[in-house]
Structure 1
Amino acid sequence: MAMSKKHELNLQTAEKFARIALSHVEREYPHKPGFVFGSPDDVRSPRETHPVFFGSYDWHSCVHGYWMLARLLNRFADLASAPEILGLFERRLTTDAVAGEVALFERSGSRGFERPYGWGWLLKLAAELEVMKDRGFAETLRPLSRLIAGRFESFLPLATYPVRVGTHFNTAFAIRLAADYGEAVNDAAFVDLLRATALRWYGKDRDCPAWGEPSGDDFLSSTLAEAECVRRLLPAEAFVDWFSRFLPMLAEGQPATLFSPASVSDPSDGKIAHLDGLNLSRAWCFRSLASALSMDDGRRAVLQAAADRHLTASLPHVAGDYMGEHWLASFAVLALEA
């Protein structure tokens, strides 16, 4: 089964998504803070607190809004919004502004700020900036990206157990994104740490039942995020062996709970809108996992068909209400490019 043509990223869709992100990455309010106030001095506006990533409702959504813009800029040379994207980067990705972001992470009490979801996305953004024609933006962001990489290096050896949830605390999703950064900057030791952690956490997993998926708050599949993390970090042959043990009934579409898109009853509700993200992130995983299987492997068609169903269900909800609009397009780009 070939990938559906209607679910490919093209210039028209890229421009639509870029316009969505440009409309909110500098939108200061509404804003949801994600850190602990240590003193009255910490009570400042989002723009003062986060000199770069103050928009998009919360810090991590703003970060992956910037990632999407960088990705679309790299992907489409004739993107109409390219001058606006470059203008945004020149305006916001400055040495002083990045220093302000670093200062937030260095506050007392900020050890766990955005761990691990925002950490993963920040490194994903850094990886994309590394492959731009002008690598000056990557250089400007480097104090923050190196700090975040260091946070991973300090945290992962202490993390005895993975976090297997469908929300921001999922560890598989974060280290999957971080792997792209490690390769982009040729940091073999960092990638080795991510690989060793993935094997320690997930290497012995077998016959995943996925019985708790989806919950009403999920925007990630803990099952599929784990599989995609292992795919990204293991050699191809080793991954296929692991995957066959992890989801042994995949060819029969089992466990069935993974293969039917989540129903999104109210996209304007912030938590219910998470389920659109679940459908899109599942589609990303389905497509990526399918790419690791041979063309004559029957599981490949099962995964590709599931990806199409999930994309059909939630691509129409990327725009229309701010509770989804401030973040869903990034997940759509992940899925459409997988």
Structure 2
Amino acid sequence: MTEAFAEGLAGIALGHVTREYPNKLDHVLAGPGDLRGPRDLHPVFFGSFDWHSCVHAHWLLARLLRRFPGLPAAPAIRALFDGLYAGEAIAAERAYFARPGAGGFERPYGWAWLLALAAELADRPWGAALAPLAGDVAERFRVWLPRATYPVRAGTHASSAFALAMAMPHAAAQDPALLRLLRERALAWYGADADCQAWEPGGEDFLSPALMEAEAMRRLLPAAVFAPWLDRFLPRLAAGEPATLFTPAVVSDRTDGRIVHLDGLNLSRAWCWRALAGGWGPGDPRRARAEAAAARHLAASLPHLAGHYMGEHWLASFALLALEA
């Protein structure tokens, strides 16, 4: 990824994180007094259409700032974070989570992105401000995961595998008890899975249920345990099967907020394929197939990060995941 491309990603995100989208009504309403504007409800994460998209736009900006500290957009990113990551604003975000009836707010997708952002900011000045909210969200994971008897095998926000994968870096660095719990749930949910048929894509998927599960297990299991698990889970990868995992999804209407999810599917598949490919040696036919599939998926959707708000407010984060894998 070049600095020029990174500047383009930063420009997309900066254009949305401070914009209050008028249809953003994903919050919990306990009474008439709760019908307020996004910035009033969420003084840190009020932009980008919905709370979770704003969180991962912050992650994108923080990640780009780490990779390219001399980026032309870097002063604007620093100024944005300096202004938003203040104790009072974070306290208001925490208070929202603590409200009666908000126990399921953004579970698990927004939770996972919040912990990913916390991991990215942990060694920078803004990380200390975010840490109390990250602690609240980690506690929610600790309460919820033992009660989640079954995984949600979806290609959308409810995906259990995505939540495990994205929460892992924060847990590995800051929360050993949560890391153990993530591993326990991964094995309980997915340890016995074998011969995945990959009935995908669904018409609104932005995650591959099959590849996201594999990526979660790759992150959470020791390599010596993951390799035989993957051989059982996707036993025909060397032959290019299941074929659907190697074929980019067709996006028929990028102005439709649900159909454009399929651009995210292509980008997230590229992310997973590139991450998995790194575990196979140069002579392994799975590596060549995975790298080629990643390239096809990137080519299908990387040119479409901007152009319409329905994709523009969130796709850049998935592009960065894919490009960095």
Give the TM-score normalised by structure 2.
0.98
Separation in 2, partners of 1:289, 1:33: 37
Distance 1:33 1:315 in 2: 29
Shift of 1:198: 0.3
d(CA) in 1 for partners of 2:324 and 2:23?
29
1:1-338 matches, cutoff 5 A: 9-131=1-123, 135-185=124-174, 187-211=175-199, 213-338=200-325
Q: Deviations over 1:281-300 (max 9, x none)?
A: 01000000111222221101
Find the aligned partners of 2:22 and 2:300 in 1 and give their Cα distance.
Answer: 27
When the two structures are aligned, how many residues end up with a matched partner? Answer: 325
Deviations 1:75-115 (A, max 9, x none): 11221111000000011111111111111111111010000
- Please report the RMSD computed on the Cα atoms of aligned residues, expressed in angstroms: 0.8
Could you tell me how far 1:258 is from its partner in structure 2? 1.0
Instruction: State the percentage of identical aligned residues.
Output: 60
Deviations 1:23-79 (A, max 9, x none): 000000244222331111211101101110000000000000000000000011221
Q: Decide whether the 8 Å contact of 1:31 with 1:56 is kept in 2.
A: no
Equivalent-residue separation in structure 1 for 2:22 and 2:161 (angstroms): 29
Structure 1 stretch displaced more, 197-206 or 286-295: 286-295
Moved over 3 A (4+): none
The letter for the 1-side match of 2:126 is F
- For residues 136-165 of structure 1, the C-alpha deviation after alignment (integer angstroms, 9 at most, x for no partner) is 211000111000000000000000000001
Mark the runs of 5 or more structure 1 residues left unpaired by the alignment.
1-8
Give the letter aligned to residue 63 of structure 2: R
**Aligned-partner Cα distance in 2 for 1:136–1:183:** 20
| Secondary structure in structure 1 of the residue aligned to 2:306 | coil
Equivalent-residue separation in structure 1 for 2:82 and 2:100 (angstroms): 30
Name which structure has the greater RCO, CA cutoff 8 Å, separation 6+: 1
1:189-220: per-residue Cα shift (whole Å, max 9, x none)?
A: 21111011100000000000012x00111000
Whole-angstrom distance in 1 between the partners of 2:293 and 2:126? 37
Partner Cα distance (1:153, 1:44) in 2: 30
8 Å Cα contact 1:52/1:92 also seen in 2 = yes
Q: Please tell me the residue identity of whatever aligns with 2:155.
A: G
Alpha-carbon distance, 1:176 to partner: 0.5
